[in-house]
Chains A and B, each alone.
Chain A
Amino acid sequence: MHGTSYARLLAGALFLLLPGIGAAQISVVKNADLAFGSLGTSASAGTAVLNAATGVVTVTGGVVNLGGTRTAASFTVTAPNPPGARGYTIVLPASATLSGPGAATMIVDTFTSNPPCCAGLVNGATRTQVVTVGATLHVAANQAQGDYSGTATFIVTRP
């Protein structure tokens, strides 16, 4: 009978500990990728800027805005408990290279986020918060036609 009691006690202790460990971890899940849609090129270079907050693409230089599916990258950050420990910092990539047809590439940089990155801790009103990310795509003069894709990493940290 003593053996049974110890076993129950042990099971109870583990049950209490596991939720505590899980809640202390910050986590991030991707909801959507960054999509600049369709862009037309010309004889002069330019950029396409995707607004993190609105998902709207604006173009500069010789780039032509042709619509298509535009989305800011989106992530759900789940901050740890208790409330006092919900702060976290967003770390955005410096740049990413998109590969296209043949050896053609384009560079994406000047990543931005909503809420903004890098200004310190972000305190969400709830344990989960959606963070959207935009960036600037650099299109060369007469950039080769085709689909371009590349990857980057979104990081959140807590002290």
Chain B
Amino acid sequence: MKKALVGAAIVAAVAFTGAANAQSASATFSANARIVTPISIAKTADMNFGDVVPSGSAGTVVLTTAGSRSTTGGVNLGNGFGVTQATFTVSGQGSSTYAITLPGSANITSGANTMSVGTFTSNPLGTGTLSAGGSDTLNLGATLSVGASQATGTYTGSFSVTVVYN
């Protein structure tokens, strides 16, 4: 029994010696990140208002995001061959949402003559969602302002649309 007590005293002394030393403790952790595909946009069709017939009074041609036309004021619709909304393919990380920025307005010209294209609209509008496979189709419509007795000719111009991940 005396031997047993001596053994206990030795254990206690070792324990206290250890406690007096500097101590440290550590934990391993992981750091992780996911890198995803950058977003991109590619035009698949240009916007085309088709043939428009002016008159003595001004008016507009409204082109919807589905490619159908309507008019206001003194404008009449001519040949509809080739009429289409502008279309784009947006590519990026699957199931991500993105914000769409439309142009304010753009002039289209034929020589020295100009018309204005504005009131752009899109489908989807404002925010789009990429498919699980990472693509989406964006359609743009707009309103063409035609002047009274607008000069004949083929009018063209360019504009840009911007997409960014939300």
A interface list, Cβ under 8 A from B: 2-3, 6-7, 9-10, 13-14, 17, 20-21, 24-30, 32-42, 48, 64, 66-68, 73, 75, 77, 80, 91, 96, 98, 100, 106, 108, 133, 135, 137, 139, 143-159
24 A–B contact pairs at CB < 8 A? A20-B15, A26-B23, A26-B25, A28-B25, A29-B27, A34-B32, A38-B35, A40-B92, A48-B33, A64-B165, A67-B166, A143-B35, A147-B32, A147-B33, A148-B33, A148-B35, A150-B30, A150-B31, A151-B30, A152-B29, A152-B31, A156-B24, A157-B24, A158-B22
B23, A157: Cβ atoms under 8 Å?
A: yes
B35, A39: Cβ atoms under 8 Å?
A: yes
A35, B32: Cβ atoms under 8 Å?
A: yes
The answer, yes or no, to whether B26 is at the interface (CB within 8 Å) is yes
A-B pairs, top 5 by smallest CB distance, nearest first, are A36-B33, A24-B19, A157-B24, A34-B31, A6-B1
Binary flags per residue of B143-166, CB closer than 8 Å to A gives 1, else 0: 000000000000000000000111
Report chain B residues within 8 Å CB of A137: 31, 33
The answer, yes or no, to whether B112 is at the interface (CB within 8 Å) is no
Of the stretches B4-12, B42-50, B51-59, B65-73, the one at the interface is B4-12
A39, B11: Cβ atoms under 8 Å?
A: no
A-B pair count, CB < 8 Å, reads: 159
Report chain A residues within 8 Å CB of B19: 20-21, 24-25
Minimum C-beta distance from A25 to chain B (A)? 6
B12, A2: Cβ atoms under 8 Å?
A: no
Q: Which of B5, B8, B28 contacts A151 (CB 8 A)?
A: B28
Main secondary structure of the interface of A (DSSP, over half): strand
Tell me the complex Cα distance, A91–B22, Å: 14
Residue of A nearest to B92 (CB): A40
B33, A106: Cβ atoms under 8 Å?
A: yes
A158, B34: Cβ atoms under 8 Å?
A: no
The answer, yes or no, to whether B133 is at the interface (CB within 8 Å) is no
Given A6-B4, A21-B19, verify A41-B35 contact (CB < 8 Å): yes
B4, A145: Cβ atoms under 8 Å?
A: no
Given A66-B96, A148-B33, A148-B34, verify A28-B27 contact (CB < 8 Å): yes
B15, A21: Cβ atoms under 8 Å?
A: yes
Minimum C-beta distance from B110 to chain A (A)? 37
A25, B25: Cβ atoms under 8 Å?
A: yes
Report chain A residues within 8 Å CB of B26: 28, 153-156
Minimum C-beta distance from A120 to chain B (A)? 15
Report chain A residues within 8 Å CB of B166: 67
A151, B31: Cβ atoms under 8 Å?
A: yes
A17, B28: Cβ atoms under 8 Å?
A: no
